[in-house]
Amino acid sequence: MTTRRTVLKGMTATGGLLAAPQLLRAQAKTELNVIWVGWPEGHITPMAEMFMKNNPTINLKLERIPFNELFPALEVRLQARTPLPDIFFADGPLTASYSIRKHLAELDGILGNDLSRYTKAALAQGTYKGKLMTLPYISSGMVLFLNRKHFADAGVALPEPDVAKRWTWEQTLEAAKKLTDPAKNQWGLVFEMADRPYQALTLPQSKGAQVLSEDGLTATGYVDSKPFIDAMQFYADLFNKHKVTPTGVFDTNLALEMFATGRAAMYLATTPSLASISARKDLDWTVAPQPYFEGGKAVTPTGSWHIGLNPRTKQRAAAETFIKAFAQPEYVEAQARLRPNPPVLKSVWDSMGAELDTPGWRIVRSEMENTAMPRPATPGWLEYEDILRGAFREIQGGANVEQRLKKAARDIDREFAKYRG
């Protein structure tokens, strides 16, 4: 101890002139507490370092919360209604929920009026009652992954990676029947998020269903509407009647393994799979756009992480600096390079050039502009999602589609009562 202290003393004495200003600056630093969704360190640390390098007076204190626990952990922190965290990551569809409960500060005044640089769907997801409440940060999109070997073995022609030649669900089902071989534990089609409305809602939407009332407060008449029921009957038949899709694959990472280990010929999944599947060297695969219903319209899911500003923050100026920075194209681009999610700024699609010029990303870019539909804006998204998840699971398991959706609609409306009051 003493030796170290003497050494330190010596260092301060000799480098006193250099050390003193640094020490002062360190003390003057503002600390921002940021709750970040629990991505791998490598996706976050470079972004934080980039920000701190550009804003030397601000020190970021990061908390990486694992995805499964992000909502509960944020709930504890936000419901405690304290000044911390200053900044937090919010799932896009929760914008309304956090807004109505006063956990978000308006961002309109901070960003000025130039919001046209954002993709339409991303902006819509971050807006509540005409005000931008969460900053769109990254987005998401889906493509259909195809195992070339399975298609060749079954003698089925591959769909093309061209949105103009999109397969219908009916075509997809016919192909899936030929690609399924129960004896080899080989399935025609696997969904990445088989029970999550994020993915499943695009089926009723493709049949023209409106999945929630305009004000986001009524499910009856929407979740149990004819096109919704018809679409979910088609979905149920994939599992039960045609048996081309395995039931019970609810873990997104196990779904990925189904495709990556050659147990599924087709895999409908989000863009991070473009990276994880590329990493599997033995796999011969290609992509196609997400199917749509014959006579219906093409709809693809979108929306992902946004950034929220705690209205109770004691570091308002620094927090605003953070929001402004992460709205800059160079931040959005840097993040997109670290993490395979579609960028939310139109300009970044161009500035990234070659990296996004692959068949998969070309499809996603087109979908973002034409078919992407954000999840419905409702303060009750968590309830809506949870209750529908339960319904979709049971529909997979063979429950009567119409009855189960009617029950789900009733359950949702009951939970929504508190928002109508």
Partner 1 sequence: MSVDRRSTVLAFGAARYVTMSLIALVLLLPLVWLVVSSLRPPADIFAQGSRLGWGMLIPDRLTLENYTSLIGTGFPRAVGNSLFVALTTMVVGVIINAAAGFAFAVFDFRFKNVIFAFVLAAAMMPFEAIVIPLYILVQSLGLIDTYAALILPDLANGFVIFMFRQFFAGLPRELYEAARVDGASWGHIWLKIALPISWPVVLTGGIMLFMHQFEAFFWPLVAAPSPEHTLVQVAIARNISLEGTEWGRLFSSTTLAGLVALVPFLLFQKFYIRNFVTSGLK
Partner 2 sequence: MTDRAAAPVAASEAPRLARRRSADPMQPRTLVLLAFLLPALAFLVLFRLTPIVIAIGGSLFTQNLAGETSFGGLTNFAQLFGDERFWNSLKVTLIFNIIINPLQIAIAFGYALLVMVPGRGITFFRAAFFLPMTLSTGLTAVLWNIMLDSNLGPVNAILEGIGIGRQPFFLSEHQALGTMIAIATWKGCGYWMIFLLAGLYRIPGELYEAARIDGASRWHQLVHITLPQMRRPLAFVFVADTAINFLFFAPVYIITKGGPNGATDLLMFRAYENAFTFINWGRSLALSTIILVIIGVIAAIELRLFRDKEGAEA
Residue 190 Cβ, how far from partner 1 at the closest point, in Å? 13
The site map against partner 2 for 320-359 (x = CB under 8 A) is: ----------------------------------------
Q: Which two tokens stand for residue 284?
A: 């011969």
Q: Which two tokens stand for residue 242?
A: 């045609």
Q: Is 248 in the site for partner 1 (CB under 8 A)?
A: no
Render 250-287 in DSSP notation, one character per residue: --HHHHHHHHHTTSEEEEEEETHHHHHHHT-TT--EEE
The amino acid at 417? A
- Residue ranges in 145-204 that form contacts with partner 1 under rule CB under 8 A: 185
Stretch that binds partner 1, among 163-171, 257-265, 313-321, 390-398 (CB under 8 A): 257-265
Closer to partner 2 by Cβ: residue 128 or 293: 128
Q: Which two tokens stand for residue 72?
A: 């509960």
- Helix, strand, or coil (residue 156): coil
Long-range pairs of 251-259 with CB within 8 A, sequence gap ≥ 24: 252/192, 252/193, 255/190, 255/191, 255/192, 255/193, 255/194, 256/192, 258/187, 258/190, 259/145, 259/147, 259/190, 259/285
Could you give the CA distance from residue 125 to residue 254 in angstroms, rounded to a whole number?
Answer: 28
* Chain centroid to CA 236: 24
- 359's contact among partner 1, partner 2, none, with CB below 5 to 8 A by partner kind, is none
Closer to partner 2 by Cβ: residue 160 or 402: 402
Closer to partner 1 by Cβ: residue 129 or 281: 281
Is there a contact between 57 and 357 (Cβ–Cβ < 8 Å)?
no
Is there a contact between 26 and 52 (Cβ–Cβ < 8 Å)?
no
Is there a contact between 192 and 270 (Cβ–Cβ < 8 Å)?
yes
- 280's contact among partner 1, partner 2, none, with CB below 5 to 8 A by partner kind, is partner 1
Residue 142 Cβ, how far from partner 1 at the closest point, in Å? 12
The site map against partner 1 for 276-315 (x = CB under 8 A) is: x--xxxx---------------------------------
Residue 252 Cβ, how far from partner 1 at the closest point, in Å? 6
Stretch that binds partner 2, among 297-305, 325-333, 360-368, 412-420 (CB under 8 A): 412-420
Q: Which two tokens stand for residue 338?
A: 């670290």
Q: Is 27 in the site for partner 2 (CB under 8 A)?
A: no
Closer to partner 2 by Cβ: residue 349 or 384: 384
Task: Using alpha carbons, select from 390, 350, 369, 341 the residue that is nearest to residue 92.
Answer: 341
Q: Which two tokens stand for residue 147?
A: 């195992």
Closer to partner 1 by Cβ: residue 233 or 276: 276
Is there a contact between 365 and 167 (Cβ–Cβ < 8 Å)?
no
Could you give the CA distance from residue 54 to residue 52 in angstroms, rounded to a whole number?
Answer: 5
Q: Which two tokens stand for residue 129?
A: 């009652």
Q: Which of 27, 68, 113, 116 binds partner 2 (CB under 8 A)?
A: 68
Residue 125 Cβ, how far from partner 2 at the closest point, in Å? 19
Q: Is 82 in the site for partner 1 (CB under 8 A)?
A: yes
Q: Is 393 in the site for partner 2 (CB under 8 A)?
A: yes
User: Would you give the DSSP letter of residue 94?
Assistant: G
Q: Is 386 in the site for partner 2 (CB under 8 A)?
A: yes
**H/E element, 30:** strand 30-37
Closer to partner 2 by Cβ: residue 226 or 414: 414
Number of amino acids touching partner 1 (CB under 8 A): 40
Could you give the CA distance from residue 92 to residue 95 in angstroms, rounded to a whole number?
Answer: 6
Residue 163 Cβ, how far from partner 1 at the closest point, in Å? 23
Q: Is 263 in the site for partner 2 (CB under 8 A)?
A: yes
Quick count: other Cβ atoms within 10 Å of Cβ 124? 19
Gyration radius from the chain CA atoms:
24
Residues at the site binding partner 2, with contacts judged by CB under 8 A: 68, 71-72, 75, 79, 81, 97, 100-102, 185, 187, 246-249, 251, 254, 257-258, 261, 263, 379, 382-383, 386, 389-390, 393-394, 397, 399, 415, 418-419
Binding residues for partner 1 (CB under 8 A):
35, 38-41, 61-69, 72-73, 76-77, 79-80, 82, 84, 185, 252-254, 256-257, 260-261, 263, 270, 272-273, 275-276, 279-282
